[in-house]
């Protein structure tokens, strides 16, 4: 079981996001996809990436509070729910590997790993083939909302109940807000859920206090690219 969990965590780390060695954020563009990266800086502390796997018992807020107690400055965080398990990842500076592992081990996680962040850019989702019949239903989204307990579950549930499939989602904190960026697939209307009026869908999110910063169509790349 431990080997299975370890493989799942490694797959998430390599497939969902990877990080660059420092704490100064900048933005680049690859294949027209926004990519977050960290510029190199010899004066910055070496950032550490912590991966914690467990059940739905420990909220991000609890993790943030525990990490702040050991002077860990959180640069970014990620959370993925799948099959009754949660994987949480934290990019931090200021705390040692031993302190981070001790803090996370004291919480309700079945697996914890702490190591230095790799010197690579974040992986991107896509590119999508421009001839794909599903391309017209793919949207790039960026949402922002005041952070409250279980806010990420509230947002994803609101979308999924209307037939929106979230295939890729990154989340991180910015001040008192939570920001969620990713790829969503709108319902095609040929299965269980009818097509959505996207303007009304966005309005419904905003009525719940969720700021929709981006909701745009994906431009596909040629099949031979």
Domain residues of the chain, as ranges?
2-116, 135-217
How many residues in total does the chain contain? Answer: 225
Q: How confident is the model at residue 144 (pLDDT cuts 50, 70, 90)?
A: very high
pLDDT at 37: 40
pLDDT at 147: 87
* pTM of the predicted model over 0.75: no
Phi, psi of 215 (to 5 degrees): -155, 85
> Tokens standing for 223?
């099949």
> Tokens standing for 113?
């790993």
Sign of the Cα torsion 106, 107, 111, 114 reads negative
Cα dist. 181→102, 127, 186, 215 in Å?
A: 30, 16, 16, 10
**For domain 2-116, is the CATH number 3.40.630.30?**
no
CATH superfamily of 135-217: ACT domain (3.30.70.260)
- With vertex at residue 31, the alpha carbon angle to CA 163 and CA 7, rounded to the nearest 5 degrees, is 65
**Residue 93 in this model has a pLDDT that exceeds 80:** yes
**Residue 224 in this model has a pLDDT that exceeds 60:** no
Contacts of 22 (CB under 8 A, 6+ apart): 38, 39, 40, 41, 44, 47
């Amino acid at each position: 079981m431990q080997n299975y969990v370890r493989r799942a965590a490694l797959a998430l780390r390599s497939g969902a996001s990877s990080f660059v060695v420092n704490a100064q954020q900048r933005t680049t563009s690859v294949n027209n996809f926004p990519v977050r990266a960290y510029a190199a800086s010899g004066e910055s502390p070496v950032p550490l990436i912590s991966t914690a796997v467990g059940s739905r018992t420990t909220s991000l807020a609890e993790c943030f509070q525990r990490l702040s107690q050991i002077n860990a400055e959180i640069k970014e965080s990620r959370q993925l729910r799948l099959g009754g398990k949660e994987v949480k990842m934290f990019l931090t500076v200021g705390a040692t590997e031993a302190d981070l592992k001790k803090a996370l081990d004291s919480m309700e996680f079945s697996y914890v790993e702490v190591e230095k962040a790799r010197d690579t850019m974040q992986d991107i989702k896509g590119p999508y083939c421009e001839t794909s019949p599903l391309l017209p239903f793919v949207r790039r989204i960026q949402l922002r909302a005041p952070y409250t307990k279980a806010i990420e579950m509230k947002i994803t549930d609101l979308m999924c109940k209307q037939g929106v499939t979230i295939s890729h989602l990154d989340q991180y904190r910015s001040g008192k807000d939570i920001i969620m960026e990713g790829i969503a697939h709108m319902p095609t209307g040929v299965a269980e859920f009818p097509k959505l009026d996207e303007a009304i869908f966005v309005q419904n999110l905003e009525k719940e206090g969720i700021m929709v910063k981006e909701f745009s169509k994906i431009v596909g790349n040629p099949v031979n690219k």
